[in-house]
C-alpha cells in the first residue's frame, strides 16, 4: 500500500513508519515543517491553512492515511493558551487535512485517526468499552471534537478508524521515559492514592493493532488500543519497581501533583479509565503482551 503518516516524529509514528517500510509499503510522511525522514520514505507538508493544496496534490495514488499528529498532552500545565493549542492541533488540523485531500482529488480507502481513552473521562472502577458515552472534562471534549473531525474522511469514501490509545509503554520516551530516572534512584512509587486505573499497552501491540486495522478492509469505527488487563496505579508502580529491581513504595501525593501540574495533573496522573479492548479482540487481534509484568520486562530489556 501507499500510506501517508502524520506525527512520524513521535513515539508511535516513528516506529510505525519504520515497520511499514520494512513490510514493503510505500510511505509518505506528512510534516508540519521540513525535517529528516526515515530512509526510504517520502515526505510532504501538511496543509497550513484552509485551501492549501500544493502539498497534497501529488498523493493521487494514496491508499490510506494514519493521522497521529497532535501537540503533546502532558508537556506542562494547561494554561488557556496551552489548552487552545492542544485542541487546535487535533480538531483543526484534522479538518484541514481532510479538506485538502478532498480538494486535491485524493481518495484514500482508509483514514485512521489517533484519539485517546481520555474520550471516556474519569470512570472510577467501571470497565469501559467502545460503547461507553464520552465524558465531559477537557480531554474528553478534545477527543470528541477530534473524532468528529476525523469522520469527515467518510466523504472521501474512506472507512474511518478512531484509535483510542491508552498509555504506551516503550523503551524510550512516553510515560516510562519520564518514570525510569526516578525509579532508578529509588524514588519511584504510586501517584496519588494509586487506586486509579491505568489503561496501558506495549508499543509492540500499539503498532501491531494499527497495522491490523490498516490492513483489515472491514475494520471501521472506534477501537480501544489498550491491553486486555488494565492495572491500578499502585500495581503499575510495583511491577515497574520489580522489573527494574528497585523499591517502589515512595508515593507522590495527590495534593502535590495538583499543586505542581494543576488541571493536567488531575486529568492525566490522578484520574484513569478501566478501558477494555473489546472491539480490537473481536476483530481478531492477539496481544503479544497481555500481562504487564511480561510487557515491562520485554520493554526494559531493550
Better-predicted residue by pLDDT, 177 or 166:
166
Per DSSP, 132 falls in state: S
| Mean pLDDT across the chain | 93
Q: What is the pLDDT of residues 192-206, one digit of tens each?
A: 999 999 999 999 999
How far apart are alpha carbons 217 and 215 in whole angstroms? 6
Give the pLDDT confidence score for residue 261 in this predicted structure.
83
Buried b (16+ CB within 10 A) or exposed e, 114-145: bbbbbbbbbbeeeebbbebeebebbbbbbbbb
For residue 35, the model assigns a pLDDT of 86
Query: In the prediction, which pLDDT does 54 show?
Result: 64
pLDDT at residue number 32: 85
Lowest-pLDDT range, 4-18, 137-151, 216-230, 257-271? Answer: 257-271
pLDDT at 218 over 70: yes
Half-sphere exposure of 99 (CA within 13 A, CB side): 13
State which residues form the domain around 61: 2-300
Residue 55 carries which DSSP code? G
Give the separation between CA 174 and CA 240, rounded to whole angstroms: 14
Q: Over 80: is that where the pLDDT of 128 sits?
A: yes
Are the CB atoms for 228 and 287 separated by under 8 Å? yes
Number of structural domains (the chain) is: 1
Question: Is pLDDT at 51 greater than 70 in this prediction?
Answer: no
Q: Tens digits of per-residue pLDDT, 134-143?
A: 999 999 999 9
Confidence class for position 158, pLDDT limits 50, 70, 90: very high
% of residues, the chain, pLDDT over 90? 75
Residue 15 neighbours by CB under 8 Å, 6+ apart: 170, 203, 207
pLDDT attached to residue 2: 96
Of 240 and 56, the one with more pLDDT: 240
Q: Higher model confidence: residue 276 or residue 72?
A: 276
- What would the mean pLDDT of 82-99 be, rounded to a whole number? 94
Least confident of 115-119, 184-188, 210-214: 184-188
165-176 per-position pLDDT tens digit: 999 999 888 888
Q: What is the DSSP letter of 101?
A: H
Task: Give pLDDT, residue 34.
Answer: 84
255 vs 58: which has the higher pLDDT: 255
pLDDT band (50, 70, 90) for residue 148: very high
Predicted confidence (pLDDT) per residue in 237-292, tens digit: 999 999 999 999 898 899 988 888 888 888 888 889 999 999 999 999 999 999 99
Q: Residue 203: how many CA atoms within 13 Å on its side-chain side?
A: 23
Query: pTM for this one?
Result: 0.94
Q: What is the CATH number of the domain that holds 51?
A: 3.40.50.720
Amino acid at each position: 500500500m501507499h500510506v501517508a503518516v502524520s506525527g512520524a516524529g513521535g513515539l508511535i509514528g516513528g516506529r510505525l513508519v519504520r515497520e511499514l517500510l520494512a513490510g514493503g509499503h510505500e510511505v509518505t510522511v506528512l510534516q508540519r515543517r521540513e525535517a529528516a525522514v526515515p530512509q526510504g520514505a517520502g515526505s510532504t507538508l501538511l496543509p497550513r491553512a484552509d485551501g492549501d493544496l500544493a502539498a497534497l496534490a501529488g498523493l493521487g495514488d494514496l491508499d490510506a492515511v494514519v493521522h497521529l499528529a497532535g501537540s503533546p498532552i502532558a508537556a506542562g500545565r494547561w494554561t488557556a493558551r496551552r489548552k487552545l493549542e492542544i485542541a487546535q492541533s487535533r480538531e483543526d488540523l484534522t479538518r484541514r487535512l481532510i479538506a485538502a485531500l478532498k480538494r486535491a482529488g485524493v481518495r484514500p480507502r482508509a483514514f485512521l485517526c489517533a484519539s485517546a481513552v481520555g474520550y471516556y473521562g474519569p470512570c472510577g472502577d467501571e470497565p469501559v468499552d467502545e460503547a461507553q458515552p464520552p465524558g465531559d472534562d477537557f480531554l474528553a471534549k478534545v477527543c470528541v471534537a477530534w473524532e468528529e473531525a476525523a469522520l469527515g474522511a467518510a466523504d472521501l469514501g474512506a472507512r474511518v478508524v478512531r484509535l483510542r490509545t491508552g498509555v504506551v509503554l516503550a523503551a524510550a520516551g512516553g510515560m516510562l521515559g519520564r518514570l525510569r530516572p526516578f525509579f532508578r534512584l529509588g524514588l519511584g512509587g504510586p501517584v496519588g492514592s494509586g487506586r486509579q486505573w491505568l489503561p496501558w499497552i506495549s508499543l509492540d501491540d500499539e503498532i501491531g493493532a494499527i497495522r491490523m486495522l490498516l490492513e483489515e478492509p472491514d475494520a471501521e469505527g472506534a477501537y480501544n488500543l489498550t491491553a486486555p488487563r488494565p492495572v491500578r496505579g499502585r500495581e503499575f508502580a510495583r511491577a515497574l519497581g520489580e522489573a527494574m529491581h528497585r523499591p517502589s513504595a515512595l508515593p507522590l501525593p495527590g495534593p502535590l501533583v495538583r499543586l505542581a501540574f494543576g488541571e493536567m495533573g488531575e486529568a492525566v496522573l490522578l484520574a484513569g479509565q478501566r478501558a477494555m479492548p473489546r472491539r480490537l479482540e473481536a476483530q481478531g487481534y492477539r496481544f503479544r503482551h497481555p500481562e504487564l509484568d511480561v510487557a515491562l520486562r520485554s520493554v526494559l530489556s531493550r
